[in-house]
Structure 1
Amino acid sequence: MVQIINLEQEHLIAAKISGKLTEKDMEKMHPLIHNIIEKGHKVDFYFEMEDFKGYTLKGFWEDLKIDSAHLGDYGKMAFVGNKKWQEWAAKATDFFIKSEVKFFDISEKQQAQNWIKS
């Protein structure tokens, strides 16, 4: 599930994610991305992962399609979680996307919010 949260930055998509992300969850994100791009900004992301279990197959496919269509449109990405595999996923994202990507432990949530806003 994706729950959009407001960190009061017009170029930032901030969300709490939990469970398994579905195709519908990813479809919610796409118009948000377009709204920011249309205003002439790169899109920054803040993802707070709580009890996040990954993606459904269709959700993963939809995320890949969106990301491949917008590779040059992304700015910074902050991933906040408490699992080692989430840190590895953030590092893999950093490898494939031309953005600055950082993983923060859940205890560093405020530091992550400060970093994404800077």
Structure 2
Amino acid sequence: MLQILEQTEGNLIATRATGNLTEADYDKLLPRLKNIVEKYQKIRWYFEMEGFEGWKPKAFWKDLKFDIHHANDFEKVAMVGDKKWEEWMTDLMKPFTSAEVKYFATTKKIEAVKWINS
């Protein structure tokens, strides 16, 4: 499940992912991301993972298609989690985007928020 957090404002989208992300999550998310690109040209994304298990296949495909098409539309991505694979996933993203991408441990949420807003 993907929850849009109240910190979402301007070109910042703040989300919390739990469990598995589904196609329905992306059906709600992608129009918001496209709107940010249209209005602000660049997206700053705070992506918090709490009990995150990954993506359902159709959701992964929608995410991948959007990310490939909009690879240069991201300014910053703050990934917040507590699992080693989440940190590796953050490192794997870096070559595929022009955005600054940074991983923060869950205990460093405040630093992640400050960084994404700077």
Counterpart check, 1:66 vs 2:55: no
Rounded Cα–Cα distance in structure 2 between residues aligned with 1:63 and 1:27: 10
Q: Which residue in the other structure is 1:47 paired with?
A: 47
TM-score by length of 2: 0.95
Percent identity between matched residues is 45
Q: How many residues align?
A: 118
Q: TM-score, normalised by structure 1?
A: 0.95
Q: Aligned partners of 1:33, 1:66: CA distance in 2, in Å?
A: 9
What does 1:69-108 align with in structure 2 at a 5 Å threshold? 69-108=69-108
Cα distance in structure 1, aligned partners of 2:108 and 2:35: 29
Contact 2:11 2:40 in 1 (8 A): no
> Are positions 1:5 and 2:30 aligned together?
no
Q: Distance in 1 between matches of 2:41 and 2:66?
A: 17
RMSD: 1.1
Cα distance between partner residues in 2 of 1:40 and 1:20: 29
Q: 1:2 to 1:8 in 2, by over 3 A?
A: closer
Task: Give runs of ≥4 in structure 1 deviating > 2 Å.
Answer: none
- Is contact 1:9-1:117 (8 Å) kept? no
Residue number in structure 2 paired with 1:17: 17
* Cα deviation code 1:35-58 (max 9, x no counterpart): 111213301100110000001111
Code of the residue aligned with 2:15 in structure 1: it is A
Instruction: Determine the structure 1 residue equivalent to 2:27.
Output: 27
- Quick one: which amino acid aligns to residue 56 of structure 1? K
Aligned to 1:10, what secondary structure does the other structure show? coil
- Alpha carbons 1:20, 1:53 under 8 Å: kept: yes
